Structure formats: C-alpha cells, structure tokens
Amino acid sequence: MANPILVLAEQLRGEISDITFEMLGVGRALASAVGAPLYAVLLGSEAAPLAAKLGKADKVFVADNPQLNLAPAATVTAVLKTVIDQSQAGLVLVGCTNVSLGIGSTLAAQTGLPLVNFCRAARADGSAIQLTSQLFGGKILSDVKLPDGRGIACLYPGAFPADDGKSDQAPPVEKLDLPVEAPKVTFKQYIEPETGDVDITKQNILVGVGRGIQSQDNVQLAEDLAQVLGGAVCASRPVIDQGWQPLSRQVGKSGMTVKPRVYFALGISGAPEHWEGMQNSLCIIAVNTDPKAPIFDGAHIGVVGDVLELLPVLTDKVKARKG
C-alpha cells in the first residue's frame, strides 16, 4: 500500500473553510489512484465537533487545544511532523490561503520534503504525483513531478470542486495530545472588516477597477458607470494598496468574494488572487489593453481596449438607453 495522503484541514472561527473540502476531494481521488488511505489533521479549540464534517477522510487526527487556534507556522508544523511520523504520510496537502500561508514552507524546511506551490491540478502517475502549478500571475503553468509521491502540495483555493470533498458520514477520529510550546507569535484579536458605505457582496452590478485605471482621478469614470447602472465600484489589490479605494471595496484573496449578476473587470489582468474573489460572477465583462491578459480566459465578454476611452462613452450610452 502506498503512503497515506494527509490533508491539513483549515478552519477559521469555528468553520471549516472550503479549501479543506477541495483538498479532501482531490486527496480522495489521488488516494484511490495510488491505493493509499486519506487522512486529515484538524487543530484548534472546538476541533472535535468540526471533525465530523471531514468524512471523506479515512481518519482524522484531532488536536483539540486552544493554543493551536491561529497558531504560528512552526507550531502547526510540529503537530504535522508528529502526524507524518505516526502515519507514515507521503503527500501532504495544504491550502494556498492567507490562513495557512507559510505552513507548507516551514514543513518543507523542517522535513526536507519538496514543496510545490500554487497547485491547480494534481494527478497520480503510477506511484508518482504530478502537479500543475500556476506561476507569474497566471501567465505560465508548470508541471512538476514528485517521483516517489512524497512531498507537500499547496493547493490554490477555487481550483478544485469543494463538493467532491463533502460527506455525510463522520470519520474515525484519533485524538492527539501534544505538548505545545509557548509560541513567539501570539494571536491577540480579530479586526473585523471595515464596514464601508456599500456592501459589495450584495450588489447586482460591480464595476471592478485594476491597475489599468492608472490614477485615483480616473476612478470617478468607473463611479459614473456604476452610478448609472445602480451598482458599485470595487477594486483589485493594487488599487486598494494605492489608497484609491477603501479596503471595504477589495475583491480577491484578502478581500471580498462577490457574485454579482454583472462584473466589469476594467484594467484588471486577472491574477489568481483577484480571480479567486469574482470567478463566480454570472457575467464577467473584461476590458484590458493586453490581448493576452489572463482575465480574457475566464471572462464571458472581452474587449481589448483602453478603459479610460471606453468608460465615458459607455456611461453615456447606458444613460441614453435607460432614458
């Protein structure tokens, strides 16, 4: 039998994150292909009741310890190493999320296992595991092989179907009672999202602006379109980092996940971090000067052009149409 596959389950504020089910789904497929069991490990206080949701795994290791809530990478890694030693796990799946960032790399540094980051696809090839990694903001893919199936794969959220990892059955649980050293990184408190004037997750129409909007003054052009459409402006990370839009308008990995009826991606290249937050929009209209921008691969409607030229004309025409 091949070495077990181990999923690091992710939870935030007592809820299992979608990435956990994505990992369990792909982990189950890989485990079946190589003839290995699938295990999961779940950490933090109140972990025990959450373990019942991880029924896709053949067994869940649970470390129910409040000191493991949002614990630093080194502390989580110490638990993972114990589980790997105990279970002889060969492949470890970790989420490529803000919550788990750094855990895979710390584990790689401490075990010498190879790590493949930003994975969007995974398949078994005999006893080897082949992973496809998305690099350079989504412009290049790289196929990487773990020849003996041993290693750490960080999986991109949204790349795998979460439903494949859900199950109604409760899995067998093995409790871990591990000493946890006093960490040098201590969680103090949550800072709740800034409540802006507008909740972008509740909008039917979002006019998303990216780097291509070029300046804070130009954001007004997007505001004009949003206003005539009865929607709101939102933005990708570079625009937020420049302070051109408040944090409450950020869409993507660190920001909001939105699903409007129409999403305009204006001057947004379509980097995976942004795509993660708006991919389920019902109609995505992308405008970009770069005909090879990755956004066109996922958008429904595409225009190669300058948003600054298009916006005023489009706003006028929408106004005219609405009378």
Angstrom CA distances, 3 to 6, 63, 148, stand at 9, 22, 10
Of 35-64, binders to other proteins (CB under 8 A) are none
Taken in order 275, 281, 282, 286, the sign of the CA dihedral is negative
Identify the bridge partners of residue 240 per DSSP, sorted by sequence position. none
Contact region with other proteins (CB under 8 A), list: 36-44, 49-57, 163-171, 229-237 = 229-237
Contact region with other proteins (CB under 8 A), list: 24-32, 40-48, 160-168, 180-188 = 180-188
Nearer to other proteins, 103 or 209 (CB): 103
Considering only residues 33, 37, 123, 145, which one is a binding residue for other proteins as defined by CB under 8 A?
Answer: 145
Contacts of residue 236, defined as CB under 8 A and 6 or more positions apart, other chains included, come to: 208, 209, 210, 211, 250, 251, 252, 268, 271, 274
Please name the residue that has the structure tokens 């110490």: 78
Nearer to other proteins, 38 or 250 (CB): 250
Cα-to-chain-centroid distance, residue 100:
10
Nearer to other proteins, 40 or 293 (CB): 293
C-beta separation of 257 from 237 below 8 A: no
Considering only residues 118, 156, 160, 275, which one is a binding residue for other proteins as defined by CB under 8 A?
Answer: 118
C-beta separation of 147 from 128 below 8 A: yes
Give CA angle at 86 (164, 21), nearest 5°: 15
Residues near other proteins (CB under 8 A), total: 100
Residue 121 is a binding residue for other proteins (CB under 8 A): no
Residue 169 is a binding residue for other proteins (CB under 8 A): no
C-beta separation of 41 from 63 below 8 A: yes
Nearer to other proteins, 37 or 298 (CB): 298
C-beta separation of 311 from 291 below 8 A: no
Residue 16 is a binding residue for other proteins (CB under 8 A): no
**Min CB(58)–other proteins separation in Å:** 28
The residue count for the chain: 323
**Min CB(174)–other proteins separation in Å:** 27
**Min CB(124)–other proteins separation in Å:** 15
Considering only residues 1, 181, 190, 197, which one is a binding residue for other proteins as defined by CB under 8 A?
Answer: 190
Nearer to other proteins, 27 or 157 (CB): 157
* DSSP assignment string, 222-239: HHHHHHHHT-EEEE-HHH
Residue 199 is a binding residue for other proteins (CB under 8 A): no
Of 63-92, binders to other proteins (CB under 8 A) are 70, 72-74, 77
155, amino acid identity = L
Angstrom CA distances, 50 to 7, 72, 88, 166, stand at 15, 21, 24, 13
Considering only residues 1, 177, 189, 197, which one is a binding residue for other proteins as defined by CB under 8 A?
Answer: 189
Considering only residues 21, 39, 160, 296, which one is a binding residue for other proteins as defined by CB under 8 A?
Answer: 296
Nearer to other proteins, 188 or 202 (CB): 188
Considering only residues 117, 218, 236, 245, which one is a binding residue for other proteins as defined by CB under 8 A?
Answer: 117
